[in-house]
Structure 1
Amino acid sequence: MQERLLDYYKAIEAASKQMLEAARMEDWEGVVRCEGACAVLIEQLRFKATSLELPRTDRAEKTRVMQRILRNDAEIRLLAEPWIADLDHLFDSRLQMIH
C-alpha cells in the first residue's frame, strides 16, 4: 500500500474525534490520552511531509479533514472550560492557603 500524507491527516481526525467523545463523557483522562496520540500522529505527519508530497487531488479533502479537526477542537475546548475553571479555582485556593 502506498503511504499518503492524507492518511496521516485522517488518523489525526480520528484521534480528535475520540478525544471529543471522551470530553463529551467528561473522561478527562481519556482526553489526555487521545491528545497524546494526536501529538504522536502530528509528529509523524511532520516527519513524513519532509519526504512525501500531498498530491493536488488530495488538497480539497485535506482542507475538509482539517476543518473537521478544528470543529472537534473547538467543541472540546467548550466542554473543557468548566473543568479548567474548576482546576484554576482549586489552584487559587491552594495558593491562598500557602500565603
Structure 2
Amino acid sequence: MLDAARSQDWDTVVHHEGVCAVLIEQLRSQARRLELDAQERAEKSRIMLRILCNDAKVRDLTEPWLAYCDARFNTQSTLLH
C-alpha cells in the first residue's frame, strides 16, 4: 500500500486498504481465541509497529494537509505558553 501511495496509484491504495481491513478483523477474531507465547507476542508487536509506521507514511502522502495542520498547531501551542 505504501508503494502504491508513493506512486500515486490511489485505486491500488483503496484496494489494499479494504484487504487490510478484512485481515485486521480476522486477526482480532483469532486474538480472542488464541494465546500467544512471549516470542509470538514480541513478533506481533514488531509487525504492528511496522504497520503503524507504514500507515502514517501513507497518511502523510494521501493527506499532506494534516502535516501542515500539525505543524501549525504545534507552533501555536508553544506560543501560548
Q: Could you tell me the TM-score, scaled by structure 2's length?
A: 0.72
Secondary structure at 1:23's aligned position in 2? helix
Which residue among 56, 59, 77 is the counterpart of 1:74? 56
Structure 2 residues without counterparts, runs of 5 or longer = 66-81
Q: Percent identity, please.
A: 63
Q: CA deviation at 1:64?
A: 1.2
Any runs of at least 4 consecutive aligned residues in structure 1 with deviations exceeding 2 A, and if so which?
Answer: none
Secondary structure at 1:45's aligned position in 2? helix
Count the aligned residue pairs.
66
Code of the aligned partner of 2:30: K
Q: CA deviation at 1:50?
A: 2.1
Q: Does 1:23 align with 2:5?
A: yes
Mapped partners of 1:69, 1:27: distance in 2: 19
Q: CA deviation at 1:52?
A: 1.2
Q: CA deviation at 1:67?
A: 1.1
Structure 1 residues without counterparts, runs of 5 or longer = 1-18, 84-99
Q: CA deviation at 1:51?
A: 1.6
Q: CA deviation at 1:47?
A: 1.4
